[in-house]
């Protein structure tokens, strides 16, 4: 963390696995969506991708013309999660916030 509790370094978050409070992996942070607000940027969403290496390899293979012509592979699944649904009090171990719980 930098400066305040609200500032995080994006490069520290990319690739981290988001887990539930029980420790179950939900997805890997692939990207972050931010909007300008004054001189700063405010993060609105975190884009999560599949966790497993196999899913990532199949997604890579699905982009090759040979695999596309054979109908093999599928799209790499991603989903946008609102920033406020996540707890980054420990940026190395991001997790979902339980309803009614404060990060």
Separation of alpha carbons 90 and 102, rounded Å: 14
Report strand pairing: 25-37 vs 40-49: antiparallel
Would you give the distance in Å from CA 26 to the centre of its chain?
Answer: 9
In order along its 103 residues, the chain shows pLDDT tens digits of: 344 446 778 888 898 999 988 889 888 898 899 899 888 888 889 988 877 666 666 667 777 777 777 776 556 677 888 988 999 888 889 998 865 555 5
Both structure tokens of 12: 């520290």
Q: Which domains does the chain have, with CATH numbers?
A: 10-94 (2.30.30)
């Amino acid at each position: 963390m930098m400066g305040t509790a609200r500032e995080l370094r994006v490069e520290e978050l990319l690739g981290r696995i988001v887990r539930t409070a029980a420790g179950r992996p939900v997805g890997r942070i692939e990207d972050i969506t931010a909007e300008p607000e004054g001189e700063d940027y405010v993060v609105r969403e975190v884009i999560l991708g599949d966790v497993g290496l196999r899913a990532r390899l199949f997604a890579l293979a699905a982009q090759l013309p040979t695999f596309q012509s054979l109908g093999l592979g599928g799209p790499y699944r991603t989903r946008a999660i609102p920033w406020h649904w996540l707890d980054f009090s420990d940026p190395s171990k991001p997790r979902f916030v339980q309803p009614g719980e404060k990060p």
